[in-house]
Amino acid sequence: MIIPPYTGVWLVEFQDRIELVPVWYRDIVGLGRFKANQVGFQPGEAMYPMYNAIMGNKEIWVVVHWQRYEDGREEPDEIFYLEPNATEADARKKFDEMVNFVNMSKAELRKLASMFEASKDDLAYIESRPDGIPITYSRPDRKSSIEEQDLYQARLKVLAGLQPKTVTLMEKAYTTEEPREREKIEHEAVEAYFAEMAHYWTEDLVKEWQRSNPIGTEWMCEFARVWQEPKREIDPINHELVLNWLRRKYNLLTAEELSDAILVMTGQRVMPGTLKKRRERLGLTTKRPPGPRPNPEQEPPV
């Protein structure tokens, strides 16, 4: 499936939404052993005499960092030719250093550049680097509290209000271990996302999709069906509850305090009893006892 204007995307589950993020390029680091005269500088190049004098036709370790772009092209970024007497341990150390460098964020690279007089090319490289996928919320692991696990499931329920099929397929892909089957489900999840967001795309972008993909593909049929239905929107009250249940400590508020907090954040007044039913339907639990907050002056001495 072609996704104009990108040919590669990640479908990312952020804390407050699901979104497509374009893949501009992938960084790849490789390690191998080759005959020195089959790689590196060739006759006629300025560095060839020195390279040939050191390497000759001996076997050497080579570490390469390159980028693979959306359109399939690949461009080398850095190549390290280790001397003939370098061991495999030396090569793997260089490989690990390169991997660590590639994984550095922009902030880390800027900090590194501030320690010396960086060239214009170095600074341009830093600014051109992607910061990766800013996933702001991770799935709870087995060590997470019951509250955190309940909150995660509640978030999925709310996001499913806008993208039900997308959420179902993302969860299915997450639990599928067989690589090819998982890739197939991930592809279906991206198709579902396009269809379920039908009301949010521009006319020009929709026409570009139609030109770029075969007529009759399943996602286009789903797109047409969704387009004929009323526009889906995430419920703002439920969204605020699941987004900030623990972050703003809504789970510790009285029913009246929670009602006031929701009014401030959404501009909508929801009665305490109605909010209680909402959070119970979402599966949001609280250890706080019901009733008003105790008056500290009336509490018995400890």
Q: Is residue 4 part of a domain?
A: no
> Model confidence at 1, in pLDDT bands (50, 70, 90)?
very low
Q: For 32-49, write each residue's pLDDT tens digit.
A: 999 998 888 888 888 899
Mean pLDDT of 135-150: 63
User: What are the CA-CA distances from residue 111 to residues 107, 123, 147 (Å)?
Assistant: 6, 11, 38
Other residues' Cβ atoms within 10 Å of the Cβ of residue 80: 16
Residue 24's alpha-carbon distances to 7, 11, 37, 212, 281, in angstroms, are 9, 14, 34, 19, 40
Whether the predicted pLDDT of 4 surpasses 60: no
Mean pLDDT to the nearest integer, 271-285: 91
Cα–Cα dist 295/302, whole Å: 15
Residue 215: what pLDDT? 52
Task: Please give the pLDDT value at position 82.
Answer: 94
Distance CA 237, CA 231 (A): 18
pLDDT, position 301 = 44
| 182 or 11, higher pLDDT | 182
Confidence of residue 294 (pLDDT cuts 50, 70, 90): low
* Shared domain check, 245 and 200: no
Band (pLDDT 50/70/90 cuts) for residue 90 is very high
Alpha carbons 206 and 214: distance in angstroms, whole number: 13
Residue 176 placed within a domain: yes
Among 104, 128, 152, give the residue marking a domain's end.
128
Mean pLDDT of 270-287: 89
pLDDT in tens, 165-202: 988 988 888 888 887 888 788 888 888 888 888 888 88
206/240 same-domain check: no
Query: How far apart are alpha carbons 176 and 95 in whole angstroms?
Result: 31
pLDDT score of 3 = 52
d(CA 275, CA 258): 8
The CA-CA-CA angle for residues 5, 10, 13, to 5°, reads 125
User: What's the pLDDT tens digit per position in 198-229?
Assistant: 888 888 877 777 776 655 567 778 888 898 99
Residue 70 lies in a domain: yes
With a pLDDT cut of 90, the percent of the chain lying above it is 24
Q: Is pLDDT larger for residue 81 or for residue 102?
A: 81
Whether 106 is in a domain gets the answer yes
pTM here? 0.54
- Residue 73 pLDDT grade (very low, low, confident, very high; cuts 50, 70, 90): low
Of 100, 128, 156, which closes a domain? 128
Residue 174: domain span: 9-21+136-228
The reply to whether 88 and 156 lie within a common domain is no
Query: Per-residue pLDDT for 264 more than 90?
Result: yes
In a domain, 251, yes or no: yes
Q: How many folded domains does the chain comprise?
A: 3
CA torsion 170-173-174-176 (nearest 10°) is 160
269 burial class (0-12, 13-18, 19+ CB within 10 angstroms)?
A: exposed
- pLDDT value at position 135? 38
79 lies in the same domain as 30: yes
Candidates 289, 239, 297; CA nearest to 268 is 239
Cα 163 from Cα 195, distance rounded (Å): 9
Residues 240, 219 within the same domain? no
Work out the number of other CB atoms within 10 angstroms of the CB of residue 54: 14
Q: Which has the higher per-residue pLDDT, 265 or 67?
A: 265
How many other C-beta atoms can be found within 10 angstroms of the C-beta atom of residue 200? 10
Shared domain for 84 and 222, answered yes or no, is: no
Do the strands 59-69 and 9-13 form a parallel or antiparallel pair, or are they unpaired? unpaired
Q: Are 54 and 118 found together in one domain? A: yes
Shared domain for 32 and 99, answered yes or no, is: yes
The DSSP H or E segment spanning 187 is: helix 179-196
17 has a pLDDT exceeding 90? no
Q: Are residues 246 and 212 in the same domain?
A: no
Q: Is residue 247 domain-resident?
A: yes
Is the same domain home to 179 and 33? Answer: no
Q: What's the CA gap between 243 and 251, in Å, rounded?
A: 12
Residues 45 and 88 in one domain: yes
Considering the chain, what is the average pLDDT of its residues?
80
76, 111, 128 - which closes a domain: 128
- Residue 50 forms part of a structural domain: yes
- How far apart are the C-alpha atoms of 25 and 284, rounded to whole Å? 40
30 and 123 fall within a common domain: yes
With respect to residue 300, please indicate whether it lies within any of the assigned structural domains: no
